[in-house]
């Protein structure tokens, strides 16, 4: 994310931001207790934190790979619309493939259609765990690079899951084993594009407010536009920007972690809107990797928390039965589609 940052206008200094925690990847790999505790605290408050990847060779390698994958995504997202529509993910039924702008359920109070398009590229397609669907040649010709990015992003996510388990005095693999990379799951790379606009009037929305479905989300973005709701009671209900930091990924937890931890961990609500100023005039590209539970994993608290009253996860999926992660994902997908 180094050379790219030099071509982007400075982040505006007159917009509200959220000071989420900054955590060192290198210190986490060295099992630094203070740094690991920061992961837990961030996961119990905002549900988001920065992860500095510049202080470790593996982290720097992932940053370099991210620039390659960004170039791939730009090529794929800028082919003619009719070619992208040949890879359309059937609304409410398919997770993987192309999603055009305006296809996500309008959840904000003004019912504004989203302006973001994206390709979801399945981890299982990339790694040969399951039969692939059709994707543009701009994606399939770069299968090896994309597979490497998926594997390294997944590994990073598993490290976070192990740390959270340890900090909660659970067996270190309690969460990670539910997200095995070789198991069929909803894991995928998302390549997104939100077109820039000349004026920001507060009426455009890139992606409506939501919480993520899965366990861990690894986000790389350069222009900005991500907003979350601060956990500070004095700012209740406010939307504030998360400023992109060069060399950092933004990590957030999904609803599966709320379910597995029975409410001890938080899945932060977020949305994407255009930035005011020159940055808002740029097309906003981002890369996301979603770590999600294997399809056959039961969506219920881990054994150590099963005797407690079950915490409802935002009312997104009913509590009338214990769903598998595959069933959970299918229901959430239908809810998010128009």
* Cβ neighbour number for residue 29 with a 10 Å cutoff: 14
Tokens of 318: 């009913």
Choice between 5 and 302, residue whose per-residue pLDDT is larger: 302
Neighbours of 243 (CB within 10 A): 19
Query: In what order do the strands lie in the sheet containing 226-228?
Result: 207-210, 270-272, 226-228, 240-241
Residue matched to tokens 């209740």: 236
Across the chain, how many H-helices and E-strands are there?
10, 12
Q: Over the stretch 252-269, which tens digit does the pLDDT of each residue have?
A: 999 999 999 999 999 989
Higher pLDDT, 277 or 18: 18
Per-residue pLDDT at 277: 78
User: If you average pLDDT over residues 90-103, what whole number do you get?
Assistant: 89
Question: What's the average model confidence in pLDDT over 55-74?
Answer: 97
Reading the block at residue 241, the tokens are 């920007």
Question: What pLDDT, in 10s, does the model give residues 107-148?
Answer: 556 557 889 999 999 999 999 999 999 999 999 999 999 999
The DSSP letter of residue 207 is E
pTM, rounded to two decimals: 0.94
Neighbours of 14 (CB within 10 A): 6
How many structural domains compose the chain? 1
Domain that holds residue 164: 2-336
- Match 């609500």 to its residue by tokens: 269
Kindly state the average pLDDT of the residues 270-289: 89
pLDDT of residue 2: 47
Burial of 204 (0-12, 13-18, 19+ CB in 10 A): middle
> Quick one: pLDDT band at residue 323, thresholds 50, 70, 90?
very high
Residue 142 tokens read as 């770069």
- Integer CA distances (angstroms), 55 to 58, 122, 220, 306, in order: 9, 29, 17, 39
Q: What is the mean pLDDT of residues 52-57?
A: 96
Question: The domain spanning residue 291 has which CATH number?
Answer: 2.60.120.330
* Among 55-59, 89-93, 311-315, the range of highest mean pLDDT: 55-59
Where helices occur in 227-289 by DSSP H, the ranges are 255-260
Angle at 301 between CA 299 and CA 306, to 5 degrees: 130
110 half-sphere exposure, CB direction, 13 A CA radius: 8
Q: Are strands 226-228 and 248-253 parallel, antiparallel or unpaired?
A: unpaired
The average pLDDT across 192-200 equals 81
């Amino acid at each position: 994310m180094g050379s790219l940052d030099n071509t982007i206008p400075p982040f505006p200094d007159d917009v509200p931001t959220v000071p989420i925690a900054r955590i060192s990847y290198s210190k986490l790999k060295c099992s630094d207790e203070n740094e690991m505790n920061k992961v837990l605290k961030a996961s119990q408050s905002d549900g988001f934190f920065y992860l500095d990847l510049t202080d470790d060779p593996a982290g720097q390698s992932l940053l370099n790979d991210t620039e390659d994958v960004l170039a791939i995504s730009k090529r794929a997202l800028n082919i003619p619309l009719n070619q992208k529509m040949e890879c359309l993910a059937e609304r409410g039924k398919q997770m993987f493939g192309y999603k055009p702008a305006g296809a996500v359920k309008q959840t904000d109070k003004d019912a504004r259609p989203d302006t973001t398009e994206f390709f979801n590229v399945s981890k299982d397609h990339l790694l040969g765990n399951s039969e692939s669907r059709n994707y543009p040649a701009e994606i399939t010709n770069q299968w090896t690079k994309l597979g490497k990015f998926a594997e390294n992003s997944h590994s990073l996510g598993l490290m976070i899951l192990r740390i959270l388990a340890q900090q909660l005095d659970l067996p270190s693999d309690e969460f990670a084993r539910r997200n095995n990379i070789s198991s069929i799951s909803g894991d995928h790379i998302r390549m997104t594009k939100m077109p820039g606009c000349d004026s920001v009037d507060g009426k455009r929305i890139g992606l409506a407010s939501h919480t993520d479905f899965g366990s861990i989300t690894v986000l790389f973005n350069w222009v900005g536009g991500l907003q979350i709701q601060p956990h500070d009671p004095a700012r209740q209900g406010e939307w504030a920007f998360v400023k992109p930091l060069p060399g950092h990924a933004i990590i957030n937890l999904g609803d599966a972690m709320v379910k597995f931890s029975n409410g001890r961990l938080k899945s932060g609500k977020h949305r994407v809107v255009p930035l005011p100023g020159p940055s808002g005039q740029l097309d906003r590209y981002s890369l996301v990797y979603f770590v999600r539970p294997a399809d056959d994993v039961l969506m219920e608290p881990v054994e150590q928390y099963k005797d407690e009253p079950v915490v409802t996860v935002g009312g997104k999926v009913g509590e009338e039965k214990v769903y598998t992660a595959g069933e959970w994902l299918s229901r959430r997908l239908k809810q998010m589609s128009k």
